């Protein structure tokens, strides 16, 4: 192989003049973390709401949540980001569109919201599955004690449903982080984008990608570890095997 390895490249100054290549990757990592965090909060909130709606007995509720979930699940994330970034500003009234286009961090907010909504459909499916997995009598017990429907969900069903779905939620969190890399297509300077930039500036393809790979692996480990910790904290004595 006539490839010239240079593992010291990370500490060399990048042509951007703002520090070393390592700094470049670091800034990308921070953006990846920020976008993933905001997207995850959106995904959890809207996903929980839609999951609850999906679990309601009313056929209308099922139709609304079903439409929402199918729409977001059956369009590629990349296309969804394009819709938010390129199409949305043209479809809203001109004044809003101009505001959207001139927003200082447009790629950032578009990615966070787009990714958050994309993931919310998956979270919604998990939440409604979790609720359906609870014994049917739990809702009856809440109702019989005089809880209103929202109270039954809040005090009885959701606390258990979320415990049940913690493991799949862990993979969805990791998916959120991984999917944030798609945002490089709308110009977000996240980790993969900064890795690409490093590769283009330095021609050290494999050093750049190796660094990104290691960082993503570490992010995986960190997310898994954090969720395990949460699982352990929420574990109920005597309930289930694990």
Partner 1 sequence: MNASAPVIRMQHVSKWYNPHFQVLKDCSLDVTRGEVVVVCGPSGSGKSTLIKTVNALEPFQQGTISVDGIDLHGKGVNLPRLRARVGMVFQHFELFPHLSVLDNLDIAQRKVLGREREEARARSVALLKRVDLSAHAEKFPGQLSGGQQQRVAIARALAMDPVVMLFDEPTSALDPEMVSEVLDVMVQLAREGMTMMVVTHEMGFARKVAHRVVFMDQGEIVVDAPKEEFFGAVTNERARVFLSKILAH
Partner 2 sequence: MFSDFDFDAILRALPYLFRDGMSFTITLTLLSALGGLLLGTLIALARIGGGKLLAMVAAGYVNFMRALPLVLVIFWFYFLVPYLGQWLTGAPRPIKVGGFSSALLTFVMFEAAYFSEIMRGGIQSVARGQSSAALALGMTGGQSMRYIILPQVLRTMLPVLLTQTIVLFQDTSLVYVLSLTDFLGAASKIAQRDGRLVEMYCFAALVYFLICFLASQAVRRLQTRVAIIR
- Tokens of residue 77, six digits: 């994330």
Determine, following the binding rule CB under 8 A, whether residue 87 of this chain makes contact with partner 2.
yes
Displacement of CA 87 from its chain's centroid (Å): 22
Which x/- pattern over 151-180 shows residues binding partner 2 (rule: CB under 8 A)? Answer: -----------------------x--xxxx
| 236/190 Cα distance (integer angstroms) | 38
Q: Terminal CA-to-CA distance of the chain, rounded, Å?
A: 49
Which x/- pattern over 92-131 shows residues binding partner 1 (rule: CB under 8 A)? Answer: ----------------------------------------
Determine, following the binding rule CB under 8 A, whether residue 138 of this chain makes contact with partner 1.
yes
Determine, following the binding rule CB under 8 A, whether residue 199 of this chain makes contact with partner 2.
yes
DSSP codes of every residue in 67-114: HHHHHHHSS-HHHHHHIIIIIHHHHS-HHHHHHHHH-TTHHHHHHHHH
Q: With contacts defined by CB under 8 A, name the span among 37-45, 157-165, 195-203, 230-238 that binds partner 2.
A: 195-203
Determine, following the binding rule CB under 8 A, whether residue 48 of this chain makes contact with partner 1.
no
Contacts (CB under 8 A) with partner 2, residues 206-235: 206, 209, 212-213, 216-217, 220
Taking the least distance from each CB to partner 1, the nearer of 104 and 150 is 150
CB atoms within 10 A of CB 174: 19
Determine, following the binding rule CB under 8 A, whether residue 141 of this chain makes contact with partner 1.
yes
| 43/48 Cα distance (integer angstroms) | 8
- Tokens of residue 119, six digits: 């993931």
| 56/209 Cα distance (integer angstroms) | 46
Where does this chain bind partner 2 (CB under 8 A)?
1-3, 70-71, 73-80, 82-83, 86-87, 90-91, 94, 174, 177-182, 184-185, 192, 195-196, 199, 205-206, 209, 212-213, 216-217, 220
């Amino acid at each position: 192989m006539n490839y010239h390895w240079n593992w010291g490249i990370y500490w060399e100054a990048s042509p951007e003049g703002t520090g070393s290549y390592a700094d470049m990757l670091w800034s990308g990592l921070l953006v990846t973390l920020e976008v993933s965090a905001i997207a995850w909060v959106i995904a959890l909130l809207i996903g929980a709401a839609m999951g609850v709606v999906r679990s309601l007995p009313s056929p209308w509720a099922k139709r609304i949540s079903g439409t929402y979930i199918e729409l977001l699940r059956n369009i590629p994330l990349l296309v969804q980001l394009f819709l938010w970034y390129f199409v949305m500003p043209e479809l809203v009234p001109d004044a809003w569109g101009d505001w959207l286009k001139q927003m200082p961090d447009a790629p950032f907010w578009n990615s966070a919201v787009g990714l958050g909504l994309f993931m919310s459909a998956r979270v919604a499916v998990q939440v409604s599955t979790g609720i359906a997995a609870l014994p049917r009598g739990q809702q009856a017990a809440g109702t019989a004690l005089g809880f209103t429907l929202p109270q039954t969900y809040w005090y009885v069903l959701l606390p258990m449903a979320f415990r049940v779905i913690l493991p799949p939620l862990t993979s969805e969190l990791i998916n959120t982080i991984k999917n944030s890399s798609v945002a490089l297509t709308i110009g977000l300077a996240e980790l993969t984008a900064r890795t690409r930039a490093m590769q283009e500036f330095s021609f050290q393809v494999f050093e750049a990608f190796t660094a990104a790979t290691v960082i993503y692996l570490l992010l995986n480990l960190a997310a898994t570890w954090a969720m395990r910790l949460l699982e352990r904290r929420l574990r109920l004595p005597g309930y289930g095997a694990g």
